[in-house]
Structure 1
Amino acid sequence: MPDLIVVRHGETEWSLSGQHTGTTDIPLTERGERQARELLDNFGEREFAKVLVSPRQRARRTAELAGIDDFEIDEDLVEWDYGELEGVTTAEYNERREAEGRGSWNLWTDGAPGGESAEDVAARVDRVIARTERLRESGDVLVVGHSHLSRMLVVRWLGLPARYGENFLLDAAHWAVLGHKRGAPVVKHWGVPPHA
């Protein structure tokens, strides 16, 4: 069965600083644009049955700079809605919680206050996987999205609970290939940088 290729958008100012970037629609940095131009260089002449892209400009621009002319916007590919954590780093939020006498926070188990839980994001990702399953009957499908969303994609692909997304890291402008081996879902490649 054809593969699902998962791409994280190129670098932004907030991906560089570690700030949670869900609903804020910020552009790529100059480095992020260079990363995007090189992103699919080592894919050769591979063609995709379909390309699905998050509506955020950082994902759309990554697809465009990677040379993808024909793609479809998929609202389910937006990044986690971080609610109160939008624009805040995990360290800043945990420092605030400790000052209030509360314990440390974990996105994967606690969800985003005022935003989405891991189960909310998992439900969106499950819909993406179901759509790509139908599309992959015609060939490989590429999705261009975001950090935490891509991590959720891999765990749901593998049939794992949402909280295990914490254990997968996908840097800006890196990609992964999800496929099957003897009928079982597998990770063929993970965290491949541009020009690998």
Structure 2
Amino acid sequence: MGELIVIRHGQTEWSLSGRHAGRTDVPLTAAGEAAARALAPRLAQHRPVAVFSSPLSRAVRTAELAGLTDVKPDPDLVEWDYGGYEGLTTEQIQEARPGWDLWRDGVVPGDAAHPGERLQQVAARTDAVLDRIRQLLGDGDVAVVAHGHLARVLAVRWLGLAPSAGRLLGHPRPGTLGFLNTEQGQPVIAAWNVP
């Protein structure tokens, strides 16, 4: 059985400043592009049989610079819709809601472009992605290029855990890899936050 390779897109101005970038299409920085290129040698060792990406440009561009080909955009890989918290840092949100925690408290509705999404909705999307990917892993590795919070939900759903367990994983740094596979028939995280 192949591995599921989870790639977080490269750095953006918003990831650098800690702003929540859900549906806003923020481009990669020069450092983000360099980090994406640096992934190419490691990914070339795997030769995935299928590659899926969030349709947002920061993920698509990361896939391209990392040397991945035949990339299929998948709307289910878009980041958590942060609603009214889009573009804000955790510190800014906590000024209005002391002690706020995304995993526990969720988001508030935003405008029409950012209505907001509950954790269970994010999990339903990642479950749909995993259902499609599991069918392909018998043929080899599969890669997905996505976003930080979504990658955490995807990983814990791979393990069969509740979506809120995503809080237990370190936030993947921009331009890093995670490897999900199985050991003795049980799902495992083989590596996380690999540059």
TM range (shorter): over 0.9
> Distance between the aligned counterparts of 2:187 and 2:40, measured in 1?
23
1:137 Cα deviation after fit: 2.0
In the alignment, is residue 73 of structure 1 matched against residue 73 of structure 2?
A: yes
Q: Partner amino acid for 1:141?
A: V
Q: Which residue of 1 is the match for residue 46 of structure 2?
A: 46
Contact kept, 8 Å, 1:170 with 1:191, in 2: the verdict is yes
Residue 190 (str. 1) matches residue 192 (str. 2): yes
Give, in angstroms, the shift of residue 45 of structure 1.
3.2
CA-to-partner distance for each residue in 1:115-137, whole Å, 9 max, x for gaps?
11111101100001111001112
Q: Deviations over 1:88-142 (max 9, x none)?
A: 01111011224xxxxx211112211111111110110000111100111211100
SS at match of 2:6: strand
CA contact (8 A) 1:110 1:117 kept: no
1:9 is matched with which residue?
9
State how far apart, in whole Å, the 2-side matches of 1:69 and 1:13 are.
26
- Secondary structure of the residue aligned to 2:79 is coil
Q: Find the counterpart in structure 2 of residue 85 from structure 1.
A: 85
Contact 1:56–1:78, Cα closer than 8 Å, also in 2: yes
Whether 2:139 is the aligned partner of 1:138: answer yes
Q: Which of 98, 103, 111 in structure 1 is aligned with 2:106?
A: 111
> Paired residues, what number?
188
Q: C-alpha root-mean-square deviation of aligned residues, in Å?
A: 1.0
Give the aligned partner of residue 112 of structure 2.
none
Deviates more, 1:37-46 or 1:2-11: 37-46
User: Is the contact made by 2:53 and 2:63 (CA closer than 8 Å) also made in structure 1?
Assistant: yes
Residue pair 2:40, 2:65 contacting (<8 A) in 1 also? no
Distance 2:143 2:117 in 1: 25
User: Counterpart of 2:20?
Assistant: 20
The two structures have a TM-score, normalised by structure 1, of 0.93
Native 8 Å contact 2:37 2:66 kept in 1: yes
Question: What is residue 101 of structure 1 aligned with on the other side?
Answer: none
Point out where structure 1 has 5 or more consecutive residues left out of the alignment: 99-103
Equivalent residue for 1:128?
129
Deviations 1:14-68 (A, max 9, x none): 0000000001101000000000001132344321110000000000000001111
Mapped contact 2:148–2:172 kept (Cα < 8 A): yes
Gaps of 5+ in 2: 110-115
Q: Which residue identity lines up with residue 38 of structure 1 in the other structure?
A: A
Q: In structure 2, what is the equivalent of residue 164 of structure 1?
A: 165
Amino acid at match of 1:130: D
SS of the residue aligned with 1:172? coil
Once the two structures are aligned, what percentage of the paired residues are identical?
49
- Give the distance between the partners of 1:40 and 1:125, measured in 2 at CA: 25
Which residue type is aligned with residue 178 of structure 1? L
Distance 1:112 1:40 in 2: 35
Structure 2 SS opposite 1:11: coil
Q: Which residue type is aligned with residue 48 of structure 1?
A: P
